[in-house]
Structure 1
Amino acid sequence: MNIVEEYFWQADMAFQSNRLNESCQYICQAIEHLDQPKLTLEQLELLWTVIPKVITHHTRSIERLVHHHQSMPIETEEDQADRCWKFIHCFDENLIQGKNDIDHIHLHRLQADLYLQLSYVSRQ
């Protein structure tokens, strides 16, 4: 198991334990260490699953600030937006090349679902 696979494995374990922030940190580390040309289907699926939750979490943070005047979260809004953009870019970059036909169709469905979720969350 290389370092990228290790980070994605840790991200998946954290995500399944409902530790979203920890999962996101592992994915960010994996992306930074990405030396292989393509992510696996499982890694892309994890990215696809995490992105809308990060955006939803970001939306809740903003709502909390506006409605309850609580102190600013440790992570700034800009950091959260940068993280989401990094995830989306990584997902898109790995979507096209080097996939067999079934994976390719599956990934395009995931991409369509992802953008549908993003547009839904952004309208809320």
Structure 2
Amino acid sequence: MNIVEEYFWQADMAFQSNRLNESCQYICQAIEHLDQPKLTLEQLELLWTVIPKVITHHTRSIERLVHHHQSMPIETEDQADRCWKFIHCFDENLIQGKNDIDHIHLHRLQADLYLQLSYVSRQ
């Protein structure tokens, strides 16, 4: 098991134990150490499962992120950075890289993600 797989395994364990923040941190660490061109389907599914929960729990951070606000309170900066990493990684690995997932599934996930972001940005 390489370092990226280890971080994703820890993130999955944390997520299953309902420790969302810990799971987010592990995923961020995995993304920072990413040396493979594509994520596995299981890793993408975990990433996709966490994104809506991050959006739900950190609405302010996402809203500020969507509006590209330059000055964010310190307490939300980490959350926004984390969300940005998730979105970028998801976009790069799934949407741009196609990652062997059928196009219907791909477009549904892409639409869901941007729909949630646009909903949050209007609140």
Q: What is the TM-score normalised by the length of structure 1?
A: 0.76
Query: In the TM superposition, what is the alpha-carbon distance from 1:110 to its structure 2 partner?
Result: 1.5
Tell me the secondary structure at the aligned position of residue 14 of structure 2.
helix
Query: In the TM superposition, what is the alpha-carbon distance from 1:63 to its structure 2 partner?
Result: 12
- Please, what is the CA RMSD of the aligned residues? 5.3
Distance 1:81 1:2, change over 3 A: same
Query: In the TM superposition, what is the alpha-carbon distance from 1:5 to its structure 2 partner?
Result: 1.0
Tell me the secondary structure at the aligned position of residue 29 of structure 1.
helix
Distance 1:73 1:26, change over 3 A: farther
Tell me the secondary structure at the aligned position of residue 38 of structure 1.
coil
Give the conservation status (yes or no) of the 8 Å contact 1:52–1:118.
no
Query: In the TM superposition, what is the alpha-carbon distance from 1:71 to its structure 2 partner?
Result: 19
Counterpart CA distance in 2 for 1:123 and 1:30 is 31
Flag structure 1 segments of 5+ consecutive residues without an equivalent.
Answer: none
Distance 1:21 1:68, change over 3 A: same
Stretch deviating more after TM superposition (98-107 or 29-38) = 98-107
Query: In the TM superposition, what is the alpha-carbon distance from 1:87 to its structure 2 partner?
Result: 0.5
Stretch deviating more after TM superposition (44-53 or 85-94) = 44-53
Q: What is the TM-score normalised by the length of structure 2?
A: 0.77
Counterpart CA distance in 2 for 1:42 and 1:100 is 12
Q: Give 2:39's aligned residue.
A: 39
Query: In the TM superposition, what is the alpha-carbon distance from 1:120 to its structure 2 partner?
Result: 2.6
Give the conservation status (yes or no) of the 8 Å contact 1:65–1:72.
no
Give the conservation status (yes or no) of the 8 Å contact 1:65–1:71.
no
Q: Which has the larger radius of gyration?
A: 1
Stretch deviating more after TM superposition (53-62 or 25-34) = 53-62
Flag structure 2 segments of 5+ consecutive residues without an equivalent.
Answer: none
Query: In the TM superposition, what is the alpha-carbon distance from 1:18 to its structure 2 partner?
Result: 0.7
Counterpart CA distance in 2 for 1:36 and 1:68 is 29
Stretch deviating more after TM superposition (33-42 or 92-101) = 92-101
